[in-house]
Amino acid sequence: MARDFEDHCWKDIIDADTVEIYQAYRRKTYVGDNPAVLAIDLYNKAYQGGNRPVREVDREFSGSCGENAWKALPPTQQLFAAARAAGVPVVYSTRHVDTAGVHSTNRNMARERNDIYDIKAELAPQPGELVIYKERASAFFGTPLIAHLQKLRVNSLIICGESTSGCVRASTVDAFSYGFHNVLVEECTYDRSMISHKVNLFDLHHKYADVMHIEEVLAHLEGLAGKRKVA
């Protein structure tokens, strides 16, 4: 049974007046046609310091999302498995890192560990899956992502990853601008700040995407996989 349009993590912080003003956005949510999963910045850096509160890991590992990242790991693994079983492409983004000694950006990327922007092993791309290297928040900005999605005949996105208030938001707004129907999987997105996480999901849900729960998205993907076996 579908949960209410406002039955999401932001319930405890959005006041009644705001909810009422936003009723104009109320609608049925759904996963779109010809979807791809867009997995934003699931790199090692976000998990550094382990499954502990952000405030504790932050001092040593600036940019880590601590326990918020680790909590999203199992549902994200489920999401990827279900997508692959359904033949839905999984597309990754990560930060652009220079190769071959030639600097292609001006970014100050302090030489930490070499694999800090590699996708976390538990979530790693399968052979042949697309990884987009980006310099900015949006996975679309300054990258060929739109051209790859066009060539893959993708018409909608299932978005997950981090951070909700940074790269996930910027990528989702761009995806909407390009004309995609977007689903954001609530349990598979995370941030360092809980209030930013909640308010950004609230904004995105009303304006640019359908925020859905992992069980709804898994059920849809299992349906697709079932049809595929029959066909």
Residues of this chain that interact with its own copies (CB under 8 A) are: 13-15, 17-18, 20-22, 24, 54-55, 58, 62, 99-106, 118, 125, 127-133, 135-138, 141-151, 153, 155, 165-166, 169-170, 173-174, 176-180, 192-196, 199-200, 202-203, 207-208
| Contact predicate 135/106, CB 8 Å | no
Q: How far, in Å, CA of 32 to CA of 80, rounded?
A: 17
Question: Catalytic residue among 65, 160, 167, 188, which?
Answer: 167
167 flagged as catalytic: yes
Closest CA to 179 of 157, 201, 162, 163: 157
Decide the pairing of beta strands 156-162 and 210-212: unpaired
As measured in angstroms, the least distance from the Cβ of 200 to its own copies is 7
As measured in angstroms, the least distance from the Cβ of 196 to its own copies is 6
Omega prior to 163 cis, within 30 of 0: yes
H/E run at residue 146: helix 145-151
Nearer to its own copies, 149 or 214 (CB): 149
As measured in angstroms, the least distance from the Cβ of 39 to its own copies is 13
149-173 exposure pattern, b = at least 16 Cβ within 10 A, e = fewer: beeeebebbbbbbbbbbbbbbbbbb
Three-state secondary structure call for residue 18: helix
Cβ neighbours of residue 171 closer than 8 Å, sequence gap 6 or more: 38, 40, 93, 137, 138, 139, 140, 159
Residues labelled catalytic = 167
